[in-house]
Amino acid sequence: MPLAVRRATHGLARVHEVLDSFASRDCNGEILTAVRHFPAREPQWADFPRWVRSELVTAYAAKGVSRLYTHQAAAAEAVHAGKNVVIVTPTASGKTLCYNLPVLNAVLENSDTRALYLFPTKALAQDQLAELYDLNQRLDHCFGVFTYDGDTPADARKAIREKGHVVLTNPDMLHTGILPHHTRWTRLFENLRYIVLDELHTYRGVFGSHLCNVLRRLRRIARFYGCQPQFICCSATIANPGELALRLLESEVEVLDWNGAPAAEKTFVFYNPPVVNRALGIRRSYINESARVAQEFLKHDLQTIVFSNSRLHTEILLTYLQQANPRLPGKPETVRGYRGGYLPNERGEIERGLREGKIRGVVATSALELGIDVGSLDAVVMAGYPGTIAATWQRAGRAGRRNGSSCAVLVASSALLDQFMVRHPDYFFGRTPEHAFIQPDNLEILVNHLKCAAFELPIAPAEKFGDADLPDLCARLAEAGFLYLAGENYHWTHEAYPADTISLRSVTSDNFVIIDITGQPNVIGEIDFPSALVFVHEKAIYLHGGQQYHVEHLDFKEQKAYVKRVDVDYYTDAVRYTQVRVLEVAETAPGLESEEVNEAVEVKETGPRMARPDALVSPFTSSTSFTSLTSYSCHSHGDVLLRSQVVGFKKIKFFTNETIGDGKLELPENEMHTTSYWITLRRSLLESLPFSISERQSGMFGLLHALESIATLILMCDRHDLGTAIGENPPSPQESVTLSEALHPVLQTHPRDSEFFEPNLYLYDAYPGGIGFSEPLFRAHDLLLQKTRELISSCDCEQGCPSCVGPAGDLAPRAKEAALAILGRLCA
C-alpha cells in the first residue's frame, strides 16, 4: 500500500519512513487493515471574557496563554452564567483552563469562595496540583490549593480544611473522609460554589452508580450549610456525555461538545499481526509484533509510548525494548516502564523525562491514559485493543506534536473485539457508539449510601434521595437496627462507621483476602465473594502477578484464602452450574416472523405446554405474547435470580490445553438477584436448522460467546461486567435449568428429552441488583445481532477460532456454521 508521502519537516519525514517500512512488509494488505490520515486543524481563537480579572489574564499571559480557544471561552461564559456544564473534549485541548479560569476568577472576586475538584485517581489530582501551584505563584499566592487524600499527612489536614480555596480529592476520599466529617469542613461547605468533576466518562457502571449517590450526599450536606454548588464536568468523547452528566448530577446540564484547539497532522494505523495458521485462526503474537512496531519508531528516534492492557505485558514489552535499546554507559535508561505500583517520585521522574525528551520510550498501562501531562509524543503503539473506542482515542491522543506529524498504531490481539475492530475500521472511525450507563437506584448501592447519609445528617421526613421511597427504606433500615426514629427524623444508631465498609469500586463489600503462606504470611490480594468461589477454591491454581499459587485452604468464616507459591505446568478451570430463574419480565419483543407460522402454531396449540409462553411473559406483556408465538424468537429484559455453584474443577495443561485431571468440590451456592437481557430461541427455529443436536448446542454457545463481546463493545463496559448463561425457557414458568460454558459438553448427555429444549441465551449484569446494562442491550438488540453476524461471517477461520465463536477445539465441528444459521433466522 503506497503512501502519499509529504516530506515537510524532519519529524514528519521520519514518521512517514516508518509507515513506509510497515507498508513494505505488508505484501497483500492483510497486516495494515486501515491507514487513516487526519489533517492538521487550525485553532479557533476567542478573547478572554471581559469579566475575567486583569491579574488572572496577566497570570495566564505569563504562562503563554494570551488568547483562549473558542470552547474554553464558551465554557467559561456558561459557568459564569451560573449553569452546570459538561465539556467534551479530546486529550490535550486545554480543558483544565475551562474550569480553572472561572473558579479562580470567582476566588479572586471573593476570597471566601471554595471549590472542590474530584478526580478519579490520586495521580491525576497531583498532576493538576502542579498546574494550579504554577498559577498561584504568578498570582502572588493569593489562594490556597491542596490535595486531600489518603496520602495527606494528618498535621496538614487541619490547615487544608481552613485555608484550601481549591481542594483536590477523589470520590473515595469524599465518601469516607470528608462527608462523614463535614463539621470539620464548615468553612468549605458554607462557601462551596463549584464542584469540578474531571474525567466524567470514568464514572460509569458500578463506580458511576456509587458516585451519583455520593453526589446526592454531597448536595445534601451543602444544602445543610445553605449552599447550592454549581458543577463543571469534563469528559472524553463518549456517545452520551449529556445524558451521563444529567443522571449523575440529577439537574440540568449544558453540553459543550466542540473543540477549538488545534491539532497536528496525525496518522492512525490498524495493524493485524500476520496469520500463522489460517485454519485455526492463529496469528503471530501481538506482544512481539507490538515490540517490533515500537522498535521501528524508536529506531527513527521518534519518542514513543507503548500501551499494554496488563501489568505482565508491560513488563514483557519493557524487557524486549530495553534489550533492543541498551542503555549507554553513564547514561540513564532511555526506555522506561510506567504502571500502577511504581512509587510517586519514580512516576514523577518518568513524566519529567518524557516532557524533557530524555526518555525516548515508555511502556505503560492505563495509568498513563487519563490526563497526566507528559507532553506530546511522536508515536503511540497500543498492544491490544484497549476495550473501548473512547479509551482507544484517548490513548491515541497521547501522540500529537504541534508541528510535524505523529502516528498511532493499534496492534490487534486475536481476541474477538480486537479482530472485529481491525477488520471493521469504518465502525471504529465512523462514530463513537459507546454509551456510559449508570444505575444509581440499584437497591444495594442506594441503601448503602442511605446509611452513610443518615450517619452524616439525620434524615428528615420531606427529604428526597433519588427516586427512592425514602420513608419505606428508612423504616426497613430502622427495623434492621441501623436507624432510629426520634421525633420526626431518622438517626444513625450503630457503632460502625458505614462509609468504611462500602467501596465505591464494587457493589458488595465482603471480600476474601488472599494470603501467601509460603514464607512469612503476606497478603497478596483481595477478591470478591462470587469470584472467590471460582478462582480460589481449594486446590485451585491462582495466578497473581505472573506467579502461580496453589490454594491450600479457603476459610469461609474468616473470609481468607491461604495460598502457597508453586511452579506447575497447568492451570485450573472451575466447573460451574448456573441456574437462571426469571423473576419478572419487564419487556418482551418478538423476533423475525417464522416461515411456517401456521404449522408451528398448530403444533404448539395441540401440545400440552401451550400455556408456557403466556406464563412466562404475563402479566406484563400479554399483548406481545401472541406474536412472539408466531416468530422464530423473542428477546426480553427483566429481573432474574441467578444461582451458581462451583461443583468441581479441571486441571488444564498449558499450551496444549489438554485436561489432565479433575476434582469435585463442595462449595456453597451463590445466589444473585440481578437484571438480564435474553434471547429466546423458539422450537420452530431450532427445528428448521439442518444440524444435529450437539451441533446446534455448540452453535448456541459460540453465538453467545460472540454476543457477549459485541455487547461489551456496545455498552462500553468491562468484560467482567456481563455474565452469560444458556438456560431452558421454563416448561414451568418458574425454573429454568442452565448450564454454563464450562459444562456444556454435558448437554449432549442431558437426560431430558432434548426435543423440548427451547433455550434462552442470557446476558446478565454481573452485579447484584444489576447496574443498568439490560435495558440498553434490549434496545440495541438489532445492532447487537447485526454486528455479531458481521463479526462471525467475516472471520477467515474454518470452524471457529478465539476471534469469533471461540477456539475450535472446544466446540462441535460445525459450531460456526450453526451459529451463523441461527443468526440468519434472528435477523434479516
Partner 1 sequence: MAAIADKFSRLAALKSARQAIRRPDRASLRAPDQADPLGQLPGAAVAKNHFGEHLAIRNWFSTPEYVEPSRVTLSLLSHTRDESISRKTRAALNDPSKWLFLDTETTGLAGGTGTYAFLVGLGWWDAAGLQVEQFLMRDFTDEYSMLQELATRVKERPVLLTFNGKSFDWPLLENRFKMTRSLAPPKLAAHLDLLHPARALWKLRLGSVRLVELERRVLDARRLGWHREGDVESALIPQHYFDYLRGGPAEPLVGIVRHNQMDLRGLAALFGQINAMLSESPGFLEECESLDLFGLSRFLERRGETSRARSACAQALAIGLPADVRLKAQRELALLAKRHGEYERAAEIWQEMVNHCEDAVHACEQLAIYYERRARDTDRALEYAKLGLAKLVRKHARALHGLREPYREARFARQEKNFRERVARLERKALRPSFPSRHRGAPGVEEPKATRALW
Q: How far is the CB of 3 from partner 1 (least distance, A)?
A: 52
Residue 493 in the binding site for partner 1 (CB under 8 A)? yes
Distance (Å, whole) CA 33 – CA 713: 20
Distance (Å, whole) CA 469 – CA 478: 14
Contact status, residue 233 vs residue 43, Cβ threshold 8 Å:
no
Which CB sits closer to partner 1, 38 or 484? 484
Q: How far is the CB of 224 from partner 1 (least distance, A)?
A: 8
Q: Coil, strand, or helix at residue 494?
A: coil
Among 649, 714, 636, 717, CA closest to 680: 636
List residues bridging with 114 in a β-sheet: 192
Which CB sits closer to partner 1, 301 or 500? 500
Q: How far is the CB of 112 from partner 1 (least distance, A)?
A: 18
Among 89, 100, 230, 448, binds partner 1 (CB under 8 A): 448
Contacts with partner 1 by CB under 8 A: the residue count is 46
Among 652, 657, 642, 653, CA closest to 574: 652
Residues 539-598 that bind partner 1 (CB under 8 A): 583-584
Among 281, 498, 727, 802, binds partner 1 (CB under 8 A): 498
Residue 268 in the binding site for partner 1 (CB under 8 A)? no
Which CB sits closer to partner 1, 48 or 482? 482
Which CB sits closer to partner 1, 153 or 487? 487
Which CB sits closer to partner 1, 496 or 543? 496
CB under 8 A: which stretch of 507-515, 675-683, 712-720, 804-812 binds partner 1?
A: 507-515
Q: How far is the CB of 106 from partner 1 (least distance, A)?
A: 25
Among 494, 564, 643, 650, binds partner 1 (CB under 8 A): 494
Residues 449-488 that bind partner 1 (CB under 8 A): 451, 454-458, 476-477, 480-482, 484, 486-487
Q: How many CA atoms lie within 13 A of 728 on its CB side?
A: 17
CB under 8 A: which stretch of 125-133, 178-186, 404-412, 738-746 binds partner 1?
A: 178-186
Cβ atoms within 10 Å of 383's Cβ, excluding its own: 29
Contact status, residue 357 vs residue 303, Cβ threshold 8 Å:
yes
Q: Coil, strand, or helix at residue 667?
A: coil
Among 288, 319, 322, 489, binds partner 1 (CB under 8 A): 489
- For residue 567, the one-letter residue type is D
Among 55, 444, 528, 538, binds partner 1 (CB under 8 A): 444
Which CB sits closer to partner 1, 456 or 708? 456
Contact status, residue 189 vs residue 222, Cβ threshold 8 Å:
yes
Residue 491 in the binding site for partner 1 (CB under 8 A)? yes
Which CB sits closer to partner 1, 107 or 477? 477
Which CB sits closer to partner 1, 639 or 775? 639
Among 7, 141, 181, 553, binds partner 1 (CB under 8 A): 181
CA 764 from centre of chain: 16
Contact status, residue 72 vs residue 219, Cβ threshold 8 Å:
no
Residue 257 in the binding site for partner 1 (CB under 8 A)? no
CB under 8 A: which stretch of 277-285, 350-358, 492-500, 770-778 binds partner 1?
A: 492-500
Burial of 433 (0-12, 13-18, 19+ CB in 10 A): middle
Q: How far is the CB of 472 from partner 1 (least distance, A)?
A: 9
Distance (Å, whole) CA 815 – CA 795: 13
Residue 643 in the binding site for partner 1 (CB under 8 A)? no
Q: How far is the CB of 93 from partner 1 (least distance, A)?
A: 40
Residue 508 in the binding site for partner 1 (CB under 8 A)? yes
Which CB sits closer to partner 1, 240 or 578? 578
CB under 8 A: which stretch of 326-334, 495-503, 712-720, 723-731 binds partner 1?
A: 495-503
Distance (Å, whole) CA 581 – CA 808: 31
Taken as a whole, the chain contains a residue count of 828
Among 340, 344, 335, CA closest to 311: 340
For 49, which DSSP code?
P
Which CB sits closer to partner 1, 21 or 522? 522
All three cell numbers of 541, joined, read 491454581
Among 58, 137, 186, 277, binds partner 1 (CB under 8 A): 186
Beta-carbon contacts of 808 under 8 Å, excluding residues fewer than 6 positions away, are: 280, 281, 797, 798, 799, 800, 801
* Beta-sheet pairing, 483-486 with 405-411: unpaired
Among 65, 239, 447, 783, binds partner 1 (CB under 8 A): 447
Contact status, residue 738 vs residue 728, Cβ threshold 8 Å:
yes
Q: How far is the CB of 574 from partner 1 (least distance, A)?
A: 23
Distance (Å, whole) CA 321 – CA 326: 8
Binding track over 200-239 against partner 1, x by CB under 8 A: ------------------------x---------------
Which CB sits closer to partner 1, 95 or 182? 182
Residue 153 in the binding site for partner 1 (CB under 8 A)? no
The phi and psi torsions of 759 (rounded to 5 degrees) equal -90, 150
Residues 297-336 that bind partner 1 (CB under 8 A): none
Q: How far is the CB of 495 from partner 1 (least distance, A)?
A: 4
Tell me the DSSP string of 297-362: HHHTT--EEEEESSHHHHHHHHHHHHHHSPPPTTS--SEEEE-BTB-HHHHHHHHHHHHHT---EE
Among 238, 660, 301, CA closest to 433: 238
446's enclosing H/E stretch is helix 443-456
Q: How far is the CB of 444 from partner 1 (least distance, A)?
A: 6
All three cell numbers of 168, joined, read 483536590
* Residues near partner 1 (CB under 8 A): 180-184, 186, 224, 443-444, 447-448, 451, 454-458, 476-477, 480-482, 484, 486-487, 489, 491-498, 500-501, 508-510, 520, 583-584, 639, 671, 673, 768
